[in-house]
Amino acid sequence: MIVVMKPGASKDQIDQMVTQVESLGLKAHVIVGTEHTVIAAVGTKRDGNKESLESGDGVAEVVRISAPYKIASREVKPDTTVVSTGSLSVGGGHIGVIAGPCSVEDEQQILQSAVAVKEAGATALRGGAFKPRTSPYSFQGLKEEGLKLLAAARDETGLAIVTEVVAPEDVELVAAYADVLQIGARNMQNYRLLEAVGGQRCAVLLKRGPSATIDELLLAAEYVLDRGNPNVMLCERGIRTFEDHTRFTLPLATVSYLHQKTHLPVVTDPSHGTGHAYLVPDMCAASVAAGADGIIVEVHPDPAKALSDGYQSLTFDEFGQMMQRCRKVAEAVGRIM
């Protein structure tokens, strides 16, 4: 941590800041610059309230040097984490493909989808049973009934099940049916929920919130890891920007950046990341080329009749064509898909 003093900060103010740095258990090095004096604070503690130093007299700003997360950090664990559960393997050269409808709507819809996406090469089935919806008047999901239909689809196809959990009190119920607990973008900083899935051992797919920084995403992962669950996959699903021709902006450099900073595998979500079905296949191919460890894609038997997210869902045919193209790209970059 570097404390930058204002130009003209007095000796008293500098001394006081040194005392305060030392009271946090850190060693203070004072460097007198031509305009600014800076105090480098050295030590092992990554204490969250250091930022209060910023309100010290004569302080211009405080610059953090060390990453605020630990267990998620590649510095701490250099080996890439591979998350494997049933048919799904994400990380380490294998590209996982999680596909299926936004919401589980009925038995036929989910079974048909499971069979179709498996045939095309998907390695897990997605489908929402508990749906967080922007409007209270929208379809809210089939809940436990939906979970049962997902489990039936797994029995039929062998595909691992990925489904969202929206509240701590549902975690055990959802974990009883699902292979991967998805934390949605809206809940990325629902810490009680993160702690609850941290108490499980099944895999977790943690989606980046649409305005979360990468540090915030990794600190959210840290909540899960810190409770003892190491099976975390991160998911880039698009950020909110001024762009209005897509629902969100999908920043694929996230994949490469995360691979530098963390050992956790990284999945992308081109469906939410663009919000338009016709943009999804290109962004799937781009994700694979960029080094993503997995993709999660919305697929529906009849998108125009979907109860949610129809506008961004591929048909079975479109999904099949996308998979053929992506497999070639995966091969070109030396990955297995």
Q: Which of residues 276-305 bind its own copies (CB under 8 A)?
A: 277-279, 282-283, 285-291, 303-305
Q: Measured from the CB atom, is 46 or 201 closer to its own copies?
A: 46
Check if the beta carbon of residue 41 is closer than 8 Å to that of residue 28.
Answer: yes
Q: Select from 212, 115, 228 the least CA-distant residue to 220.
A: 212
Stretch that binds its own copies, among 88-96, 146-154, 155-163, 310-318 (CB under 8 A): 310-318
Stretch that binds its own copies, among 87-95, 111-119, 143-151, 239-247 (CB under 8 A): 239-247
d(CA 283, CA 296): 11
**200 is a site residue for its own copies (CB under 8 A):** no
CB of 242 vs its own copies, minimal distance in Å: 5
Q: Select from 50, 46, 49, 64 the least CA-distant residue to 17.
A: 50
Binding residue for its own copies (CB under 8 A) from 12, 15, 25, 29?
A: 29
Contacts of 37 (CB under 8 A, 6+ apart): 5, 9, 14, 30, 31
59-63 and 96-100 as β-strands: parallel, antiparallel, unpaired? unpaired
Binding residue for its own copies (CB under 8 A) from 209, 232, 269, 293?
A: 209
Q: Which of residues 311-330 bind its own copies (CB under 8 A)?
A: 311, 313, 325, 328-329
- From residue 117, how far is each of 150, 214, 235 by CA, in Å? 14, 31, 20
Stretch that binds its own copies, among 50-58, 119-127, 154-162, 174-182 (CB under 8 A): 50-58
CB of 158 vs its own copies, minimal distance in Å: 28
CB of 260 vs its own copies, minimal distance in Å: 7
Contacts of 252 (CB under 8 A, 6+ apart): 236, 268, 283, 286, 287, 290, 292
CB of 180 vs its own copies, minimal distance in Å: 21
N-terminal to C-terminal alpha carbon distance within the chain: 43
Stretch that binds its own copies, among 25-33, 112-120, 155-163, 173-181 (CB under 8 A): 25-33
| DSSP code, position 333 | T
37-42 and 2-5 as β-strands: parallel, antiparallel, unpaired? antiparallel
Q: Which of residues 118-177 bind its own copies (CB under 8 A)?
A: 132-139, 166-169
d(CA 312, CA 199): 33
CB of 53 vs its own copies, minimal distance in Å: 7
**63 is a site residue for its own copies (CB under 8 A):** yes
| DSSP code, position 52 | G
Binding residue for its own copies (CB under 8 A) from 83, 88, 255, 323?
A: 255
Q: Measured from the CB atom, is 47 or 155 closer to its own copies?
A: 47
d(CA 221, CA 224): 5
Q: Select from 26, 14, 24 the least CA-distant residue to 56.
A: 14
**260 is a site residue for its own copies (CB under 8 A):** yes
Size of the site for its own copies (CB under 8 A): 109
Residue 223 parent element (H or E): helix 214-226
Stretch that binds its own copies, among 83-91, 154-162, 173-181, 248-256 (CB under 8 A): 248-256
CB of 271 vs its own copies, minimal distance in Å: 12
**79 is a site residue for its own copies (CB under 8 A):** no
